[in-house]
Amino acid sequence: MHGKHSESDRRLLKIWAMLAVLVGSFGSVEARSSETAATGSAPGTLRVDYFHSGGLGEEIWSLDRVVVEPLPWPGHPERAIDTTGLGKYRYRVFDREGTEIYSRGFASIYGEWETTGEAKKMHRTFHESLRFPEPTDVVEVRVEKRAADQSFAEVWRVEIDPGDMLVDRSAVPKLEALKIHYSGDPARKLDLLFLGDGYTADECDHFAERAGHFTEVLFAYEPYASRRNDINVWGLCPPAAESGVSRPSTGQYRRSPVGASYDAFRSERYVLTYDNRAFRDIAAWAPYDAVEILVNGEVYGGGGIFGQFSTVAADNAWADYVFIHELGHHLAALADEYYSSAVAYELDPDRPEPWEPNATALKDPKALKWGDLVVDDTPLPTPWPKEAFEVLAEEIQSRRKAIRAKNRPESEMSALFKEQSRREVELFGAPGRVGAFEGANYAAHGYYRPEVDCVMFSRNDVPFCAVCQRGIEAIIDLYAGSASP
């Protein structure tokens, strides 16, 4: 199926959610489990849960538990080593002989939090996880952190014995995954999971509709459209006791299954979950390489962490844009290219070179990371109507704050965003060429983006720029291999 579900699918989903224990076959996933069990070709999925603490200049890692998830490992057996070079952190798994057998780059909520002013005043702890194929013998997991000069240094190591009796092989009550778009064996595909949060049992059919809709949105953008045969899309809807998720700034609090909430880092539009254990235990009932949390809400909001998850308020008028933008962060480590909206982060005054593929400090124009896409006569930095854009952005931000301060209807915010898009399109004119346009990575000066406009820069109806498309392709290749026919 692609984006649509039969009435029988919808009835089954509602019944499963009401029971809170979803039963029945797992379709092709369970078929694969039986097949690979017979051939021995697919290991289990092992997860290392840990606490990541710090603040006031400290950073501490400590083991929580080791979990074997209920489904086989969904990753590509021939692409265990991450060659993309992305991530603020990376983890590497070594066997007894010291051979590296698995690695992935990632970012984390802690990694973002440590750049906020709060991290200079107090300590905090966040829960995180690392997943890899279940080994047959003792392995050593090493976590490394990236320095300003792009090098990695080890910050934590832990020995994992998969045969230890304390390895947790239990699971939360079984959830049945919707098969929204199926291209083949999860081990040979990029598996995207839509995970609902804040949907009651009676609302899970609405979740199914939204998941199908966002699947269509995904395949409307390149390079996803050209690579749809390399992608599987799944859905899970754990039933919530109450409709919606927390929004502390308005006094709304919910104990939702996945724990998603607005106001992360005190930013009203930023939606994250800090309940990593609940999130991972629920998501374990579907094959996944990436997870998009669909929040049952209408207020503009979302978020995305590379290698962890992304979120979107599924019923907002701008949800299509937020979904595809935040998935760019989570899946492909794309940086925010905008710089006119308020954020909680404090920028490094030295402007180190970003590790993300679509932003640069342009320390050496001759070594521009996307220089192969720039035609010879393009000036670096590349001129654009920056001053006029900033006057417009300041006006929009002022009006946006007034709408929120007066608690005006969400329709007024949507109307403001539509006006902003119209005026920006008029200002930018026709799509331009690849260059180095100043203003990116939350900074008006010192950071540059590849094109004047892009999904990662604005809410305008534009495609991903050439650099971002290339970055997404690299991740699809990592999980699915080269393009399928």
* Domain extents in the chain: 7-26+174-332, 43-160, 365-463
State residue 225's pLDDT score: 98
State residue 458's pLDDT score: 96
Task: Tell me the C-alpha distance between 2 and 182, whole Å.
Answer: 8
472 token code pair: 């997404």
Predicted TM-score (pTM) of the model is 0.90
State residue 322's pLDDT score: 98
State residue 483's pLDDT score: 65
Task: Tell me the C-alpha distance between 472 and 223, whole Å.
Answer: 7
State residue 319's pLDDT score: 98
Q: Alpha helix (H) ranges present in 221-355? A: 276-283, 319-332
The string of pLDDT tens digits covering residues 78-103 is: 999 999 999 999 999 999 999 999 99
State residue 341's pLDDT score: 79
The CATH fold assigned to 43-160 is: Immunoglobulin-like (2.60.40)
Low-confidence residues in the chain, pLDDT < 70: 1-40, 483-485
Task: Tell me the C-alpha distance between 92 and 98, whole Å.
Answer: 11
Show the beta-strand stretches assigned E in 400-464.
Answer: 437-440, 443-449
* Percent helix / strand / coil, the chain, rounded to 5: 30, 25, 45
User: Has domain 7-26+174-332 been given CATH number 3.40.50.300?
Assistant: no
Residue 135: cis peptide before it, omega within 30 degrees of 0: no
State residue 31's pLDDT score: 39
State residue 349's pLDDT score: 85
Task: Tell me the C-alpha distance between 302 and 229, whole Å.
Answer: 27
State residue 345's pLDDT score: 79
The number of residues making up the chain comes to 485
